[in-house]
Amino acid sequence: MTFDMNAAWSRAMVLARENFSLLTVIAGIFLLLPTVAIYLILPDMATLADPTANPDMTPEQMVEMFAPVLGWLFPIMLIQFVGYNAMVGLMGSSRPTVGQALGIGVKAMPSIIAAFVIFMVVYMLASIIVVIPVSILTAVTGAAAIGALAPIMILAVAIFLATRLSLTMPVVLIEATLNPFKAMKRSWDLTGPQQWRVMGFWAILVVAYIVILLLVSGLLGLIAAMAGGGLASGLILGLSNGAMAVVVGIGQCALAVSIYNQLAGPNDAEAAATFD
């Protein structure tokens, strides 16, 4: 079976539209509110979000400003993961209630966190394997151009791994595969035959997202600057970035479920219903 990008997009939009009110509630609680909170709690978030706003800032100042963010990063990431899990579970074939979806999302947290840690470890090891021969070749030949290939190759490794493991969350939530290794192996197997088409699909979406993000962020940064510093600026940036997180989060979860459904095919219940 060939992965159909148009069908994946269309199905994702249907999933988002059919569950929009419930998805908005979940995303509002787990994505919007934490984003607003961190902008209000940490006034320097506006500068960190757009370092070009203060071109005179030194790297040391950036590190000093980023230090307080690290303390909030992990708990906020956990909260957002629960939201992503719940939205994916809500759009699964079992059609749970919001309460059930939240319960499933919380239950899946250890598996998702473990999968994320495994992904980072694999990514770092793969990057080292890629960089070492490039570094040796650069040292032997003295060609700086070869060394410049290292960041590109590291990025390519990240994109490849992210594509192959992009269905881990739907596998955990929809198939109830709580073993992170099995879930990642299942995602690897599902995306394998269509890896380049799936990669191209995600690449198109990411590029479009980056372009839109740059345009919107520039406009919102200007509005926030006009509002001055302090609470007003933080509230504007928090609400706007939180709203973007809601839209992107719903879309990303719907797309992941749609791609999973297409590559995994109908489950036993759906297949049986087809013949009833």
pLDDT of residue 110: 94
- The pLDDT confidence band at residue 68, using thresholds 50, 70 and 90, is low
Q: Which residue has the tokens 């979406």?
A: 205
Mean pLDDT over each residue of the chain, to the nearest integer: 85
Q: How many CB atoms lie within 10 A of CB 9?
A: 18
The string of pLDDT tens digits covering residues 134-192 is 888 888 887 777 778 888 888 889 999 999 999 999 999 999 899 999 999 999 999 98
Question: Does the structure show a pLDDT above 90 at 199?
Answer: yes
Sequence letter at residue 87: M
- Provide the percentage of residues in the chain whose pLDDT is more than 70: 84
Residue 185 near residue 111, CB atoms below 8 Å: no
Sequence letter at residue 122: V
Question: Does the structure show a pLDDT above 70 at 219?
Answer: yes
Question: Does the structure show a pLDDT above 90 at 45?
Answer: no
User: Mean pLDDT, to the nearest integer, of 110-139?
Assistant: 90
User: Mean pLDDT, to the nearest integer, of 245-259?
Assistant: 95
Residue 239 near residue 36, CB atoms below 8 Å: yes
Q: Of 264, 43, 235, 114, whose CA–CA distance to 174 is shortest?
A: 264
Residue 32 near residue 199, CB atoms below 8 Å: no
Q: Of 91, 207, 89, whose CA–CA distance to 159 is shortest?
A: 207
Predicted TM-score (pTM) of the model is: 0.84
pLDDT of residue 161: 93
pLDDT of residue 274: 42
- The pLDDT confidence band at residue 263, using thresholds 50, 70 and 90, is very high
Q: What is the DSSP letter of 228?
A: -
User: Mean pLDDT, to the nearest integer, of 13-30?
Assistant: 94
